[in-house]
């Protein structure tokens, strides 16, 4: 009989938690579970999600033990995997991350530019705390981390917890690969073999083949040149702002037509366009609070009230199956090839060996084995060097409590026009983040 695993979801009150639970339930055959626990530091928020998940689990898999708690010892004892997706400061702070830079005419985004830097300064402590709970109560466990900004969080764990069993991942590349698969008429991105390199939310595909080794790049190129990553048949339910991002990939692609870009590069390469198309009074955080958060929490409340899952409309999070692929690869030593955020250590040979890069790895019981990328072109190398310096300066600013390094980090971001604008943004962010950032000297 296959071993059964115990999982704790950290950030149990996340809007993504119900989707992850449904996805875990859909994958029990390949990733069998004996226990699911939720942990969050906001008990009231978590309870709404957890009570609904309790109803779902009772219907679909009553044999799985279920519990939720704000107590670290209860949460992190006897677990094999920590699946983490916390948002320190929650949506009200995301809203500030987005709106403060926009007030200064600069990109306001969850993970990119000054907003992402502010979020990083909040996340580092929260994520380290979870790593430490895991190591204290379940020292053999693995932490699979979705918590953003993943680039900064990954650099912080590289610097401060180099031996910890934490793997940082992102669902953007697989989301884009799903669209590429649709473009070439394949059922799934798993029917493609890709090469990709970069930083998190900052990378490029250099090769896409089918399983017979046929090059799929020309057909994808023809489509992307006209429509970006908007697939031939529109997916229902894609929000307008995301659709714009997928369409804009056409312009981002034009800068290096021999590759395909991550959609997040638009914030660095077309910041003027992004600012001109932003509403400083109503940003993505507002959209998410008005749509996803409202929908998830009202569905959960309805399910709990009725005592049956059919009373709500919770959707399985297909993207999150990536996290099951990763857990399965570790649990059963599958050696699956996956994109992970790992120390470069020569994989990109003309790039900082101490940078955290997003590249293909083979994953087994002892973790990831990165594949070689080789030499990258000057355009990408230049952009990545600048961006990785930003990420490292943020982590150094957090460690040293240094105002100066944070000012340097914001100044160095390609989204920011000058040191004076950087300082003005920093001073506003500092005021807004008083309760979350270390006190800067």
Largest CA distance in the chain: 63
Question: Residues in contact with ligand NAD, total (CB under 6 A)?
Answer: 26
Residue 369: beta bridge partners?
Answer: 362
Question: Residues in contact with ligand G6P, total (CB under 6 A)?
Answer: 8
29-88: contacts with ligand NAD (CB under 6 A): 40-42, 45-46, 85-88
- For residue 213 the two structure tokens come to 């080794």
Please identify which of the residues 133, 264, 268, 322 carries the catalytic annotation: 264
CB-nearest residue to Mn ion: 170
Whether 171 sits among the annotated catalytic residues: the reply is: yes
To which residue do tokens 């900052």 refer? Answer: 202
Residue 116: beta bridge partners?
Answer: none
Are 111 and 135 within 8 A, CB to CB? no
Written in H, E and C, the secondary structure of 65-112 is EEEEECCHHHHHCCCCEEEECCCCCHHHHHHHHHHHHHHCCCCCCCCC
Query: Out of ligand G6P, Mn ion, ligand NAD, none, which partner does residue 284 contact, by CB within 5 to 8 A per kind?
Result: ligand G6P
* Binding status of residue 14 toward ligand NAD by CB under 6 A: yes
Among 148, 278, 344, 408, indicate the residue that binds ligand G6P (CB under 6 A): 148
Query: Out of Mn ion, ligand NAD, ligand G6P, none, which partner does residue 5 contact, by CB within 5 to 8 A per kind?
Result: none
* Binding status of residue 112 toward ligand NAD by CB under 6 A: no
- Of 151 and 274, CB closest to Mn ion: 151
Whether 264 sits among the annotated catalytic residues: the reply is: yes
The span from the CA of 348 to the CA of 374, in Å, is 5
The span from the CA of 394 to the CA of 399, in Å, is 9
The answer to whether 221 is a known ligand-binding residue is no
The answer to whether 337 is a known ligand-binding residue is no
* Binding status of residue 172 toward Mn ion by CB under 5 A: yes
* Binding status of residue 217 toward ligand G6P by CB under 6 A: no
The answer to whether 94 is a known ligand-binding residue is yes
* Binding status of residue 323 toward Mn ion by CB under 5 A: no
142-145 and 81-84 as β-strands: parallel, antiparallel, unpaired? Answer: parallel
* Binding status of residue 170 toward ligand G6P by CB under 6 A: yes
Residue 266: beta bridge partners?
Answer: none
DSSP secondary structure code for residue 146 in this structure:
-
Just list the catalytic residues: 171, 264
- Which residues line the annotated binding site for Mn(2+)? 170, 201
């Amino acid at each position: 009989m296959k071993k059964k695993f115990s999982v704790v979801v950290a950030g149990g009150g996340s809007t993504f938690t119900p989707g992850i639970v449904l996805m875990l339930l859909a994958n029990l055959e390949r990733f069998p579970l004996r226990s699911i626990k939720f942990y969050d530091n906001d008990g009231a928020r978590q309870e709404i999600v957890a009570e609904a998940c309790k109803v779902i689990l009772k219907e679909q898999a009553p044999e799985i033990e279920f519990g939720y708690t704000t107590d670290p010892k209860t949460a992190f004892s006897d677990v094999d995997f920590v699946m983490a997706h916390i948002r320190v400061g929650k949506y009200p702070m995301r809203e500030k991350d987005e709106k403060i830079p926009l007030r200064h005419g600069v990109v306001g985004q969850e993970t990119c530019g000054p907003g992402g830097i502010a979020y990083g300064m909040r996340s580092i402590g929260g994520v380290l705390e979870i790593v430490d709970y895991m190591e204290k109560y379940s020292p053999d466990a693995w932490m699979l981390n979705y918590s953003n900004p993943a680039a900064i969080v990954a650099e912080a764990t590289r610097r401060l917890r180099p031996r910890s069993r934490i793997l940082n991942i992102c669902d953007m590349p697989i989301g884009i690969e799903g669209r590429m698969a649709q473009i070439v008429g394949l059922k799934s991105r798993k029917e493609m073999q890709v090469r990709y390199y970069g930083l998190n939310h900052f990378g490029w595909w250099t090769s896409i083949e089918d399983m017979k080794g046929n090059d799929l790049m020309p057909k994808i190129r023809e489509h992307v040149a006209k429509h970006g990553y908007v697939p031939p048949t529109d997916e229902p339910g894609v929000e307008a702002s995301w659709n714009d991002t997928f369409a804009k990939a056409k312009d981002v692609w034009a800068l290096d037509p021999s590759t395909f870009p991550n959609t997040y590069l638009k914030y660095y390469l077309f910041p003027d366009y992004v600012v001109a198309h932003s509403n400083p009074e109503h940003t993505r955080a507002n959209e998410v609070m008005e749509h996803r958060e409202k929908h998830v929490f009202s569905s959960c409340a309805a399910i709990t009230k009725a005592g049956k899952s059919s009373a709500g409309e919770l959707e399985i999070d297909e993207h999150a199956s990536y996290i099951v692929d990763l857990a399965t690869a570790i649990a059963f030593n599958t050696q699956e090839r996956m994109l992970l955020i790992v120390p470069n250590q020569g994989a990109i040979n003309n790039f900082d060996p101490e940078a955290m890069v997003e590249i293909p790895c083979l994953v087994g019981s002892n973790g990831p084995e990165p594949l070689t990328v080789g030499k990258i072109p000057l355009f990408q190398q230049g952009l990545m060097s600048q961006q990785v310096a930003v990420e490292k300066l943020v982590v150094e600013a957090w460690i040293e409590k240094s105002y100066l390094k944070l000012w340097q980090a914001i100044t160095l971001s390609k989204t920011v026009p000058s040191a004076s604008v950087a300082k003005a943004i920093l001073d506003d962010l500092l005021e807004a983040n008083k309760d979350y950032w270390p006190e800067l000297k």
